[in-house]
Each structure stands twice: as C-alpha cells, then as structure tokens.
Structure 1
Amino acid sequence: MRRSRAQRAALISAGMAMVLAVAACSDPTQNEDTSGSGDDGASSGSEDTTLNAYLYQPPAANWSPMAPASGPDGVVMNLIYDSLLGVDPDYKLYPRLAADLPEISEDGLTITYTLQEGLTWSDGEPFTAEDVVFTYNLMADPDTGSTASGRFADVVGGPEVAAGTADTVTGFTAPDDTTFQIQLSKPNIGLVGLTGNIWIVPQHVLADVPVDEMDTAEFFTQSPNVGMGPYIFQEYATDQYVHLVKNPSFREGEVDIDEIYLRPVTSDVATAQLGTGEMDLVQIAAPDLETVEAMDGIEVGSGPGAGYIRTSVNELKPYLQDPRLRQAMLYAVDRQQLIDEALGGNATPVNASFMNDAMPDDLETYDYDPDKARELLAEMNWDPNQVVQLSWIAGQRDRDTAATILESQLNEVGIKLELNQVQPGQLTDMMNNQSYDMTLYGGGNYATEPFAVFAINACSTHFPAGGNLSYWCNEEFDQLMLEANATVDEAARYDLYQQAARIENAEVPMIYLYNPDTIWAHTDALKGFVPNGDFTNPFWNVQEWTLER
C-alpha cells in the first residue's frame, strides 16, 4: 500500500529522531586525546588520527541519494558513498568506481561503463554492476522520492517508470559484473555529466525495501551504514558533529586519517577555532582572509566556483519583460566594485551561465556604464515611479552587500529598487505563487556539463517544473541546447553551446553578478589537501590526505 507524501515525511522525521536520540550528547573529541600526538607533539603511529572539519550548515541526517539536494548532507554522502565518476577541482570528470570514462557509441545511443574489478562494500560484500543498475533504477523512479527522475527521459524505459507504468528501466543493464550500460532512445551526451556522479547504494541491503517506502528506509539514517566511500557514518550529535570512521575496504586501499568530525558552526566560529587549533579544515569568508593569512601554521588555498550569484527577473510581470531593462540593470551595476567590497576581489564577473569551453570570447561584457543604462531606459520609456522589489534571504555577507549596492546603483539610474529581506519559507511561498519581482541567489554547477544550463533557462523548465525562475523563453535557445546535447562530435557540440550562450547574453534572462572563489584554510599538518571550488565537495581526494601532528 502506497503512503501519502505526508505520511512518508513523518516516517523520515521519526527515523531521524531515533538516530539522534542515540547520539552522544557530549563531544568525545573534547574528552580524550585523539590528535595522534605524543606528549612531545610528535606523530605517534599507535594512536588514531582525527580530523576536525567545518560543515557550513547542520545536516538533515538522511543520507539518501534520492532525497532533495541538500549541501551539508551531500558533504557527508561524498564521504560514505562512491560514484562511477567524480568531478575534480578543474570541473573535469574522472573515473572513481568506473575504470575509465564511459564509451559512447558512434550513434550516441549507448553509454558503456566498465567498472573496477574486485571492489567490496564496507561490510565485505562484493560490488557488481547489478548494484549500479539497482541504484539508477531508484533514481529514475519518482516513487522512491527521487527528484532526478526527469534526467532519464531519454533512456529506454525511463518515461514508463516515471509514469508508473513499469517497475524498472529497460535501458539500464549489466551484461556482466563489471559492465553497466545505458541505452538511449535518442542521443543525450550530457547525461554522463549529469548522472555519472550518482551515489551508488547496496542492492544486497535494500533489495527488499518496497520502492514507495525507499525514502523512509531505516538504512539511510542508521549507524553504521554500508557504502563504498572512504568513510563509514557512525553518529550525528544534533548540531554538534557528524562522526565518521575510515572504511578499511575502500577501493584505494588504506585510508590514512582514522576519523573525521564534521562540525556545523558559523563561519566566524570556525575561523576562530582554526586559530586555536580546535579546527583543522575550514571554508572561510573572503573578509576573513587577511586575518587567517596572518595565523601561524595555517595554509590557504582557493578555487573558482562552478556556479554563480545572480538575480532572477520575473518576466511574468509585464514591466519586467523588455530585455532592454535587464541590460540597463547590468550596465548600472559596478560589479567589480561589488566584488572588491564584498569578496576582497576573490570573484569574477559573469556575463552568461556558460563556463569553460562553452563560453565564447565575443560576449557583451556589460561593463559599468550608468549613462548607457539611462539611455536604454529612456529608449523603452521606463516609468521611474515603477517599484521593483528584490527579495533575498539575508545572512551571507557578500549577498547582503550585493543587495545594498544593487539598490543604490539601480536607483541612481532611475530604477526604483526596493529591498525585501525574507525567510526561506517566505521565499518559497513567493516562488510558488510567482509574486516576486527579483530574487537574489546562487549556486549550480555549469562548469562540468554545459547542458546543465538548460534547467535554468528553457521554456519547458519554468519553476516549479525546473529551475527557470525568470520564466524566460527563447525557442531558438532551446533548439540549440537540445541539438548540442544530441551531438556526438565534441567540437560541433560546443559550437552550438556557444551560439546558445550568445542568445542568453543578449537577452539577459537574469542579472549576472559574480562567480565567487571558494577559500579554504587548513592546518599545515594536513597534507594532500587540494582546494576545490565546489564547497560541498572538499573531500574529493580525502584518501590521499595525511595528518602529521
């Protein structure tokens, strides 16, 4: 019998409550020496090594790949699960559980992964391609709670599972223990980049769980859990820490650091604890960079983000539909001043959603030019008494500063911008009833796979069907994106993406602001850390780290 979504949500809460109830109320790392150092401070091989790392928000503590995306929970899942492919700091795909990048047939209809041989789950059971087939079927079925089922619309049998008329996707097969194949009804080259990083879960543990109860399965909240990642979840002490221990069966062999404590504290507290030695790895805010660089025994590194900060402009409002208005807004804002003031220069102005090879070099850069902004407004007979409201969730220093600069500089050219700080629930309500004018937000990964831009710009992805919060629609743009995604030849595919980028850049469906760098600071005792611009994946190469106290 299928439960309602409300019933299933209640069961999730109950399951998490059980986990949190058994978690220790005190912090064990504060009661015993787990630093791996002897009395003289030298490294001691007889004691465990423990890494304390910053977690930017408390997690929901439901480690389900099918659950709606949650950044802090994703950090944990990157440690306890593994995927066919990963994304490196250059936002390039690289093999993890797969032995190499997948092969794509000449007609673009078959994607073949060859898996590494001899791998085992953390409980010692063998890992096979059937685990991958099982997991991808869960992700393609909305009855599991998966929010990613739409990604498999071009997989043979995918639409039938999404519609509830079939139980499994016929296009997912395992010809043998180390081969996983995806059969497509039409070419979809972007599918590799959009689904290759799905966290794989164990069929031998979950096979008997009814599909429509998968999102409430105890497995996703229990301790210890079973995974393929370098660490095993042990406990979550509410709002204090997530405790993980190394997985002796991890595919890369011995993991060096024995334990990790992820600590959800504010960035100010994390930075202070970095200075006192209570924290080993922290993502720091740009305004704190000078302070951290002055600390003894601390190393700093950074990487560019894969997404960007922007404001969506609701084109359902008649007074916001003219692209000249949005162009004027871009010319009116001194984005370099914003970057310098809010981020200490640690960001790059953005002029389209596309990145890397999909970004042409002939885009309009919309350099600060308030006279050009006024000229465009006069040309379209803009009403200077028309109020435009910018809604955003306050609390992040760079975004708060961005809002005040937007208010000042747009008002200066004759656009009466009114700021509206809201709570998350309020913003969700405004999105659902389409009542907002503009909303300030950020995120996304558009660096690894250019087709990800489709979800925030296409005519068919207007919210809530997708991430298009501007309700922009350009059929030529959509056609180019779909053609690119079906083109096997890489050079031809990226030429089509660049054509789409020029259309987006000209019509300005959103006010592009900046791509922030993610700044990391860590004790110099931590070796092997490579900074990643994706703040949800600092542990991408954790198996290569050592902690030398």
Structure 2
Amino acid sequence: MAMVLAVAACSDPTQDDTSGSGDDGASSGSEDTVLNAYLYQPPAAVFSPMAPASGPDQVVMNLIFDSLLGVDPDYDLYPRLAADLPEISEDGLTITYKIKEGLTWSDGEPFTSQDVLFTYNLMTNPDTGSPGASKFADVQGAAEVAAGTAETVSGFSAPDDTTFVMTLTKPNIGIVALTGNTMIVPEHILADIPAADMDTTEFFTQSPNVGLGPYIFQEYKTDQHVHLVKNPSFREGEVEIDEIYLRPVTSDVATAQLGTGEMDLVQISPADLETVEAMDGIEVGSGPGAGYIRTSVNEKKPYLQDVRLRQAMLYAVDRQQLIDEALGGHAQPVNTSFMNDALPDDLETYDYDPDRARELLAEMNWDPNQVIELSWIPGQRDRDTAATILESQLNEVGIKLQLKQVQPGELTDLMNNQSYDMTLYGGGNYATDPWAVYPINSCATWFPNGGNLSYWCNEEFDQLMLEANATVDEAARYDLYQQAARIENAEVPMIYLYNPDTIWAYTDDIKGFVPNGDFTNPFWNVQEWSLEG
C-alpha cells in the first residue's frame, strides 16, 4: 500500500556533500551517466518499510530495497527476489516462496530467507510502530506478537536459505498481493537494534546504504535532492545508469526544467501536456492509475459522523469540472475504492447536484457556521486545484471549508493527534487485488494500526471482505467484493475525487523506460534503462 502521505518531519542527515558530484548533478567522473528525475514531494526521510506509507519515500525505497514480488504496469504480480510466484496449498493455509539463489546485499553479504524472516517479523512487531502489521493478522502467531505474549510470529519460517513459508490460521487469498511487495531489510545490519528503536535508527533516517535494489543511497540534502549510485551487486547484473538525483520541486518547475534539459524524467500535469509535446527531444507516455485521489473525513469528530454530510459533499463537487480543469480530462471520477471485476455497475454515481446537497444538509440540520478544515501538502497542480474547487463548491452549498497547507511534519502531528478534519491525498493499488481495500476501510485498521484515516467502521462491510478473502472460488469471491463495494459507496467513508492517468515526460536519451501508472514506482524496471547522448 502506497498511500501518498508524507508522515514524518524532513531532516538533513548529510550536511557535507561527500558524493563526488555537485549539486547540479554533474558527476566528477566525466564518463558517468547521471539521471535527474522529478520527485513530487520532499521525502519525510524515514526510508523504512515499517514507517507509515509516504509516497516520496516509497520512490526512494523502490530504488534501494527490493521485495519478493513486484507489480508490473498491468498491475500483475511478478517475481523479483522470489524465483517465481509463491505456491499456495490446496487448503489455502500455506504460502511457500522459493528465493533466487546466489543473491548478495550491496555490501557483499549473502542474502537468504533469514533476511525475509527477519523483515516480516519486524513488520508484525508492535514495538516498531508498523501500520502494516494488520496485513499479517491471519498468519499463525501474529495475534500473540500483537498482544505481546510472543516475540516472533510462529507462522513465519525459513526451513532453508532459499525457502520462506507463511502458515495461516484461515485462507487469505489476498495476502500475497498485500504483503509480497514488502521491502526486505538486512538482518546483518539491523539484528542488534531493538525493535522499539527501528523508527529512529540512523540506518533508516540517515544512511540506508545497504540494500538489494538497483541503487545505493548516498545522501539526502533537504529540499534539494536524493542522490543514489548504482549497485554493482544488483540481482539482474550490471545497472547502466551510474547515478540518479531525485529532485523535489513543484510540477511547474519540473516541467520547465524538462524544457531546459535540467530534468530528464518528470511526471507532468495533464495541463502541461500540450506544452511538453511541443518540446524537442521529449517523449510522452502514460499508464492508468491503480489508486485514486480523495479526502479522508475524520469520523472521530462528532460533526463529521453523519453520512448525509459526506454524501452532500460528493453531490456538491463537480468532479468532472475538476477533472477537465486540473487534469485536461485525463482521469475518471471514482465512487468506490474497488476496481476492475470487483466494481459493480449499479453504484450511486453522485453526479454534480448542489440542490441535492442542500437537501441533505437541511435534513440533518447542518450548522452553516461549523468550520471544516482541509489539510494537504501543496505542490502538485491537480491537488492544489482540487483543494480550491472543494473550498469554493462546498462553501456554495453551506459547508464552510477552510484550506490549510501543511508540510510533512505538520501532517504527521495532525495524524498522530487525530486532530485533522479532512486530508487530501492519493495513491494505493486497488487494481491488483480487491483485498487491498480492507486496510483503508476496516474497523480493525484505524490509523496508526492501518490505513483507515477516516475511522469509518461498518461490521457488515468487514464481514463481506473477510469472507471474500477466504473464498477460493473466484466468481463467488468477486460477488462478495461487489456487495462490499455497494456498502462503501453508500456510506462514503471518504470523499472520492478521481483516478488520474499518470503521464510521464522524458528525454529521448532514456532508453528502456516503460510508463507505470503507479507514480511511486516509475523505476520498476530501471535496471533495463540506459541514458544516451
């Protein structure tokens, strides 16, 4: 799960530039190839799979770490560190991974299934603060670890150096998609660090420079760049591009720098598409998104608990206008978190109807003087436009929305204190497996125990999701998911906005780039890239 929230304060772990490269990305080695890429927000600088999901940090982690499985641009699972997709027993209770042989960490130490065992136990340990622990709830022994009566999960095992096994208490079809992309961390580096200190250890906050990914972390200079150099021990062999600089700038600046040659790869706003297509030497590609942009609605606040308020918000917002203005039509309205075969065709579409919004507000005796605050991290044109349109159109029907731009650290505080009213964010992958919707909606996954930032709870929804995930028959499973989608659609736990196409613009000197709709993982096949010219 990759919800796009920056959830920790930025820091400057490296004051001195020891990379051998200048701030402009020009390498000291004249023959080195250097790629400058857009990073849509400054990272929170906690590069840890145990940290709450943060989109820009995820971009970095996808380059320096690796996982058993990955997701390709078609949102299909494929093996990365695993030799193949896992074997699932007939009763659905045992999931067995075989790991590629002969792999090493970037420091030369051998990688084995013990590293996987170590990482997965960290993910479930409550002392690490990992919100991903709920994904493993159906593994034998996970409940005991959560309760503090056991130190490790009995259902995780590594019978030999190339085998990792998860044993479940009940069938869980979606657990492979939900957990197979967990970034693996090095046991030989972290074994002596107490679990409670994992969120502050220097390895994750300053120098995560031992990994299995195609690149090795060098430094993060706050609000300037993340610098990475190629990993000569990467599993696929030689990585061709020597260095990457990820540069956190606004989308407008990134697009301008693409035109001047200062940037090589940029996720562009659809509003800039015509301008970019006119640039010499620039290619454009896109991929369909697997997540969506939305606002959470904090139902712990009494004035936000009535479903009619949330329904009124949806009716009050002209989402097609938002899509046309902010994204040039390159997006689709969303009315539920479910996608593909789990998406019913009889959902309420909440078409723009401000009169219906006013009727609902009148029914609930809404107080027009009640202020609702919407917090978001600025810098992406479509989200900035979305916030402005929400403010205008909700105020028009009598909902007094106030906008609050925040930095990552401020949003962290709001989340930890549960003091926000609404937050604007995006991301997620709900196209690979519908079970991914459970962590953002269930009663058991309220933040910080999971990704449910609205604190919505519907026991019937949870039961349908659990039943679906334990059902082996595919047709029956998807019927249950569609029933759950109807409940979510009716109760509106969040204000659905749009599913954007992800549009990439890049210099034609980059060879091998394959556009990915997941904007947190443009580098999914970076080992196949080269940079010419």
Fold equivalence (TM over 0.5): yes
Instruction: State the Cα distance separating 1:49 from its structure 2 match.
Output: 1.9
Which of 178, 181, 185 is 2:165 aligned to?
Answer: 181
| Matched position secondary structure for 1:520 | strand
Maintained 8 Å contact 1:23/1:237: no
What does 1:124-135 correspond to in 2, within 5 Å?
124-135=108-119
Matches of 2:233 and 2:250 in 1, distance apart?
34
Amino acid at match of 2:428: G
1:27 aligns with one of 2, 13, 22: 22
One-letter code aligned to 1:72: P
1:499 aligns with 2:475: no
Structure 2 counterpart SS, 1:252: coil
Aligned counterparts of 2:386 and 2:222: Cα–Cα separation in 1: 33
Partner of 2:352: 368
8 A Cα contact 1:53 1:279, kept in partner: yes
Instruction: Report the counterpart of residue 528 of structure 1 in structure 2.
Output: 512
CA distance in 2, matches of 1:437, 1:30: 41
Match of 2:181 among 197, 200, 215: 197
Question: 1:302 is matched with which residue: 263, 286, 290?
Answer: 286
Counterpart of 1:418 in structure 2 is 401
User: CA contact under 8 A between 1:391 and 1:427: conserved in structure 2?
Assistant: no
Matched, 1:243 2:243: no
- Cα deviation code 1:245-283 (max 9, x no counterpart): 222222112222222222223322222221111211112
- 1:418 partner SS: strand
Q: Secondary structure, in 3 states, of the residue corresponding to 2:213?
A: coil
Does residue 389 in structure 1 map to residue 372 in structure 2? yes
- Residue 96 in structure 1 maps to residue 96 in structure 2: no
Kindly indicate whether residue 142 of structure 2 is the aligned counterpart of residue 147 of structure 1: no
> Is 2:40 the partner of 1:56?
yes
2:443 corresponding residue in structure 1:
459
Given residue 67 of structure 2, which amino acid in structure 1 is its aligned partner? Answer: S
Specify the alignment match of 2:424 in structure 1: 440
Q: Which moved more, 1:521-530 or 1:125-134?
A: 125-134
Q: What is the CA–CA distance in structure 2 between the aligned matches of 1:220 and 1:403, rounded to whole Å?
A: 33
Partner AA of 1:344 in structure 2: G
| Corresponding position of 1:38 | none
Q: 1:420 to 1:25 in 2, by over 3 A?
A: farther
Q: How does 1:58-77 map to 2 (within 5 A)?
A: 58-77=42-61
The offset of 1:463, in angstroms, is 4.3
Structure scoring higher RCO (CA < 8 A, sep ≥ 6) equals: 2
Deviation at 1:469, TM superposition (A): 3.7
Corresponding residue for 1:42?
Answer: none
Structure-to-structure mapping, 1:468-487, within 5 angstroms: 468-487=452-471
For 2:501, what is the secondary structure of its paired residue?
strand
Alignment-derived partner of residue 151 in structure 2: 167
Judge conservation of contact 1:152–1:159 (CA < 8 Å) in 2.
no
Q: Does 1:233 align with 2:217?
A: yes
- Contact 1:84/1:198, CA 8 A, preserved across alignment: yes
Residues 1:69 and 1:323: Cα distance change in structure 2 (over 3 Å) = closer
> What whole-Å deviation, never above 9, does each CA across 1:464-489 have from its counterpart, x for those lacking one?
54433434332211110111122233
Contact 1:20/1:236, CA 8 A, preserved across alignment: no
Q: 1:247 to 1:381 in 2, by over 3 A?
A: closer
When Rg is computed on C-alpha atoms for both structures, the one with the higher figure is: 1
Who is 2:93 aligned against? 109
Relative to 1, partners in 2 of residues 1:23 and 1:142: Cα closer, same or farther, differing over 3 Å? farther
Query: Separation in 2 of the partners of 1:427 and 1:61?
Result: 14
Out of 168-177 and 142-151, give the one that drifted further: 142-151
- Which of 516, 521, 524 is matched with 1:537 structurally? 521
Alpha-carbon distance in structure 2 between the residues aligned to 1:437 and 1:215: 27
In structure 2, do the counterparts of structure 1 residues 249 and 390 end up closer, same or farther at CA, with 3 Å as the change threshold? same
Percent of aligned positions with the same letter in both sequences? 78
Deviation at 1:181, TM superposition (A): 0.3
Residues 344 and 152 of structure 1, relative CA distance in 2, 3 Å threshold: same
Secondary structure of 1:279's counterpart equals: coil
User: Hey, what's the Cα distance between the residues in 1 that align with 2:229 and 2:173?
Assistant: 37
Contact 2:26 2:34 in 1 (8 A): no
| Matched positions, count | 524
Give the letter for the 1:27 counterpart. G
**How large is the Cα RMSD of the aligned pairs?**
2.9
Quote how far apart the aligned CAs of 1:65 are. Answer: 2.4
1:97-143 per-position Cα deviation (integer Å, ceiling 9, x unaligned):
11111122122211111112222222333322122112211222132
Matched, 1:252 2:236: yes
The answer (yes or no) to whether the contact 2:394–2:401 under 8 Å persists in 1 is no
Question: Which of residues 260, 276, 281 in structure 2 aligns to 1:292?
Answer: 276
- Unaligned 5+ runs, structure 2: 1-7
Unaligned runs of 5+ in 1: 1-8, 36-46
Change (3 A) 1:475 1:519: same
Q: TM-score, normalised by structure 1?
A: 0.86
Q: CA deviation at 1:522?
A: 0.5
Flag the 1:397–1:172 CA change in 2: closer, same or farther, 3 A: same
Report Cα offsets for 1:397-416 as digits up to 9, x if no partner: 3233323333443444x433
